[in-house]
Structure 1
Amino acid sequence: MLKIDRQNYILEMLQEKGSILVTDACEALQCSDQTIRRDLQEMEEKGQLVRTYGGAYLSLDEDKSAPIQLREQLIPKEKERIGITASDNFIKDGDIIMMDSSTTCYTLAKHLVKSQANVTIITNSINIIKLFGNTNQTNKLICVGGTYKERSGSFIGNNTINSLSTFVADKAFISCSAISKKFGILDNYVQQQAVRKCMLEHSKEKYLLVDNTKFDDEGNFVIDSFKSLDGIITNKKPSDAWLEFFSQENISILWK
Structure 2
Amino acid sequence: MTNVERHQYILQQLAVQANVLVVDLCKALEVSTVTIRKDLKFLEGSGLLFRTHGGATKNNPYIRDRSVMEKEKMQIDEKLAIARQAVTYIHENDSIMIASGTTVQFLAAEIQPKGNLTVVTSSINVSQELMKHAEIDVIQLGGALRKSSCSVIGTNAAQMLADFFCSTLFLGVDGIDLNYGISTTNVGEAKLNRAMMESAHQVIVLADSSKFGRKSFGKIAELEKVDMVITDAGVSEFYKDAFKKQGVKLIIAI
| Structure 2 length-normalised TM | 0.72
**Are 1:226 and 2:220 an aligned pair?**
no
Q: Which runs of 5+ in 2 are unaligned?
A: 1-62
| 2:228–2:248 contact (8 Å) kept in structure 1 | yes
| Number of equivalent positions | 190
Does the 8 Å contact 1:146/1:160 carry over to 2? yes
Distance 1:87 1:136 in 2: 15
Are residue 120 (structure 1) and residue 118 (structure 2) matched?
yes
Q: What is the aligned partner in structure 2 of residue 27 from structure 1?
A: none
1-structure distance, mates of 2:64, 2:162: 26
2:107 aligned with 1:108: yes
Identity, % of aligned positions = 25
Equivalent residue in structure 2 for 1:138, among 123, 135, 140: 135
The alignment's TM-score, normalised by the length of structure 1, stands at 0.71
Alignment RMSD: 1.5
**What amino acid does structure 1 have at the position aligned with 2:101?**
S
Structure 2 equivalent of residue 72 of structure 1: 72
Aligned residue among 202, 205, 208 for 1:205 = 202
Specify the alignment match of 1:247 in structure 2.
Answer: 244
Shift of 1:165: 2.6
**One-letter code aligned to 1:74:** M
2:192 matched to 1:195? yes
Secondary structure at the counterpart of residue 163 of structure 2:
coil
Gap runs ≥5 in structure 1 = 1-62
Q: Residue 234 of structure 1: SS of its match in structure 2?
A: strand
Structure 1 moving runs of 4+ over 3 Å = none
Q: In structure 2, what is the equivalent of residue 214 of structure 1?
A: 211
On the 8 A contact 1:65/1:177 being kept in 2, the answer is no
* CA displacement at 1:211 relative to structure 2: 0.5
Q: How does 1:47-66 map to 2 (within 5 A)?
A: 64-66=64-66
* Residue identity opposite 2:96 in structure 1: I
Q: Name the aligned partner's letter for residue 80 of structure 1.
A: L
Q: CA deviation at 1:237?
A: 4.8
Residue 99 of structure 1 corresponds to 98
Q: Distance in 1 between matches of 2:183 and 2:100?
A: 15
Within 1, Cα distance between the matches of 2:137 and 2:199? 18
What amino acid maps onto 1:204 in structure 2?
H
Task: Determine the structure 1 residue equivalent to 2:183.
Answer: 186
